[in-house]
Amino acid sequence: MDSAKYLAAIDSLCVRDLTAADGESGAYRSGPGYRVESLEVSHGLRDGDAAPRMAAVGDFYALKSRIAQELDDRWGRQHEPWGMCTLTVRLERGEEIPEPWHLTSVVTDDLVLWQPPGSDRWIALGVAYRDESDEIHVLAVASDIDPV
C-alpha cells in the first residue's frame, strides 16, 4: 500500500460505525466502540529466525513513522508516543483495561495517538510484533473509548 491508501484506510476508520460486535470481518480485531485494522502485514515471519524478523520490525516502525508524520501534518502533533509499560504493569496487578487498549498493550510497545479535530474518536498507530507466532503488523486503531 502507498501513503494515499494508508491515509484512506485511516480516514475510513474516522467515520466508520464502531457499534459492531466482536469478530467483524476484515478487522484485526473489533468490538463495540473500537476497530483495529492491519495497514501492513509481513509474510512468512511468524515463528521464524529472529534476525530477519527484527529487521522487518525496524522497517515496520519506519513505515509507522512515515504515516504518523502525515497524520501530524494533517491534524498536528497531539500526544507524545504512548508507551505500553504502564498498562502492562496495571494488567499484571489485575486491573481491567478496556479494549482496544488491552490488546494494544499486549502486542505493541507504543502507540502514537490523535483525536482528529472536531471528533471524540481516538486514532492510534502501532507496530504489533510481540507475538512471535503472528506476523508483524502496522496497526491502525479507531476507538470511541478513551485511552486509560
Residue 36 lies in a domain: yes
pLDDT value for 24 = 59
DSSP conformation letters of 12-42: HHHHS---PPTT-TT-SEEETTEEEEEEEE-
pLDDT of residue 2: 74
Residue pLDDT, tens place only, 106-130: 999 999 999 999 999 999 999 999 9
Q: Which of 52, 65, 76, 80 is nearest to 126 (CA)?
A: 65
Which domain, by its residues, includes 135? Answer: 3-143
What is the model's pLDDT at position 22?
56
Answer whether residue 60 is part of any domain. Answer: yes
Q: Does residue 53 lie in a domain region?
A: yes
Q: What is the average pLDDT across 2-30?
A: 83
Number of domains, the chain: 1
DSSP annotation of 113 reads E
Residue whose entry in the numeric block shows the C-alpha cell 464502531: 18
The three-point CA angle 84-85-90 to 5° equals 100
**Which amino acid type is present at position 20?**
A
Contact (Cβ atoms closer than 8 angstroms) between residue 131 and residue 103: no
> Residue 95's closest CA among 86, 82, 107?
86
Q: Is residue 148 part of a domain?
A: no
pLDDT (mean) for 8-18: 93
pLDDT of residue 34: 95
Chain segment 76-95, per-residue pLDDT in tens: 987 878 888 888 888 899 99
Is 48 a domain residue?
Answer: yes
Buried-exposed string 4-22: b where 16+ CB fall within 10 A, e elsewhere: eebbeebeebeeeebebee
